Copies of this chain bind each other. A is one copy, B any other.
């Protein structure tokens, strides 16, 4: 009997050719002119899933760019159901003149395939399809039940996906999610991504005099921009700790084990400074930079404005001042509670002579931390270690991945990072590429992990 290993080996050239074919479809979700191409890419995925042996494949409408569903559910009720996620839309190719070869005419150079979407996420999402094809062709069945959810709107923020998943939660029901839209630590080192941050967002609006005043009338008037500045200054202690009462109350403290895991992942302080374009770090005292970014909540002003912004001088005392804020939250903080604490802080610290209101926003998300005792942690870690020949580094990210939030909210399933993209592969930039060796490691990794999830 042929093994999936030799099947993959035998079909290498065809799979590379398929990735080329997939990349040639300019499925740019952000551009109206490419709406039919996004659909065409979805149709390509439908037929590719079908030719791999996946059943019930369909292109599902969402109100925006479509989703492709498919499943293979013959492993038995006692076996887990794994949902595999990816996306077939890509970023716009601009600026075109910086591409060394046309973005939708893929080329192979030095073991890399260049083209828009080669890495993010067409290369990524092709690997589980190839894997199930190899398993079905060599073993006649899959070790576990498998469903696919491939979307066409990831690069524009998946506007319809939360509602879509909520509506179809039974169809997509699964025990866990593997995301092919995922990252490696570096070209040959895998990564276990265990935590994402939540988000709270709000604005503060300060009103001073009812109308803009000539500053010649001043000396007796609280200036709303200054009042807002003073209010902002009360929100953090000089040492970097957020000073909003109760802000840290619900934060789950890092365990010694987590702090140890964090410290094991390589870190280069100077490279980090260069990446951020800063000369000095500034953050919450008592924590490493990594802990601050991965596991401590933050408060940031995203925008602030009021009064005159043009050239020269305008001697005005403005009537209004505004600031936009976001907080990145960690377990077990809740965005609604954070906004309420801000409201209380502002009520208590508003300077005399102005009014300040906190306006909450619907842009919010729950923090996300895969439980450390989740059984899949070990399985994912072992497969990555075997495929890459080295243990994965643990990581969290300071940002949020909305789809992960939706899978958790609608399906009750945790999402595991199981993709093959490296940060240096020019995602969202000219000359995007994927490393062929990782495209092929990915195929093997999916074959292996489906076997490991099988319950004996």
Interface residues of A (CB under 8 A from B): 197, 199, 201, 208-211, 213-223, 225-226, 228-230, 232-233, 236, 272, 275-284, 289, 292-293, 296, 298, 300-309, 312-319, 321-324, 326, 328, 351-353, 361, 363, 397-400
B306 touches A215 (CB 8 A): no
**Set of chain B residues within 8 Å of A221, measured between Cβ atoms:** 276, 278, 281-283
CB distance from A20 to the nearest CB of B (A): 31
CB distance from A44 to the nearest CB of B (A): 31
A281 touches B216 (CB 8 A): no
CB distance from A301 to the nearest CB of B (A): 4
Other than A280-B352, A304-B321, A312-B363, give 8 A-B pairs with Cβ distance below 8 A: A201-B313, A213-B277, A217-B275, A226-B232, A226-B301, A232-B233, A302-B314, A315-B399
**Set of chain B residues within 8 Å of A363, measured between Cβ atoms:** 312-313
Closest 9 CB pairs of A and B: A216-B399, A210-B277, A303-B307, A233-B233, A219-B292, A303-B308, A229-B229, A282-B353, A222-B282
CB distance from A224 to the nearest CB of B (A): 9
Most buried by B among A222, A232, A300, A323: A300
B309 touches A279 (CB 8 A): no
**Set of chain B residues within 8 Å of A226, measured between Cβ atoms:** 232, 236, 300-301
**Set of chain B residues within 8 Å of A322, measured between Cβ atoms:** 309
Q: Chain B residue with minimal CB distance to A211?
A: B277
**Set of chain B residues within 8 Å of A317, measured between Cβ atoms:** 300, 302
| Pairs A–B under 8 Å by Cβ, sample size 15 | A210-B278, A215-B302, A218-B300, A219-B293, A219-B398, A221-B278, A225-B232, A225-B303, A229-B230, A281-B353, A282-B353, A303-B318, A309-B322, A309-B324, A312-B363
**Set of chain B residues within 8 Å of A233, measured between Cβ atoms:** 229-230, 232-233
CB distance from A251 to the nearest CB of B (A): 13
CA distance A33 to B233 in the complex (A): 50
Q: How many copies does the complex hold?
A: 2
**Set of chain B residues within 8 Å of A199, measured between Cβ atoms:** 315
CB distance from A10 to the nearest CB of B (A): 42
Given A226-B232, A232-B229: A313 and B324 within 8 A (CB)?
Answer: yes
Given A209-B277, A229-B228, A353-B282: A301 and B223 within 8 A (CB)?
Answer: yes
Most buried by B among A211, A280, A361: A280
Partner of A278, one of B208, B289, B296, B400: B208
Most buried by B among A197, A208, A315: A315
CB distance from A276 to the nearest CB of B (A): 5
Given A208-B278, A281-B353, A282-B353: A218 and B307 within 8 A (CB)?
Answer: no
CA distance A353 to B276 in the complex (A): 12
CA distance A317 to B277 in the complex (A): 12
CB distance from A304 to the nearest CB of B (A): 5
Q: Chain B residue with minimal CB distance to A401?
A: B216
CA distance A351 to B233 in the complex (A): 11
CB distance from A403 to the nearest CB of B (A): 15
CA distance A304 to B314 in the complex (A): 12
B197 touches A298 (CB 8 A): no
CA distance A306 to B229 in the complex (A): 13
B353 touches A292 (CB 8 A): no
A293 touches B225 (CB 8 A): no
CA distance A208 to B210 in the complex (A): 33
Q: Chain B residue with minimal CB distance to A284?
A: B219
Partner of A304, one of B209, B283, B306: B306
Partner of A289, one of B220, B279, B302, B319: B220
B318 touches A281 (CB 8 A): no
B216 touches A400 (CB 8 A): yes
**Set of chain B residues within 8 Å of A400, measured between Cβ atoms:** 216
CB distance from A298 to the nearest CB of B (A): 5
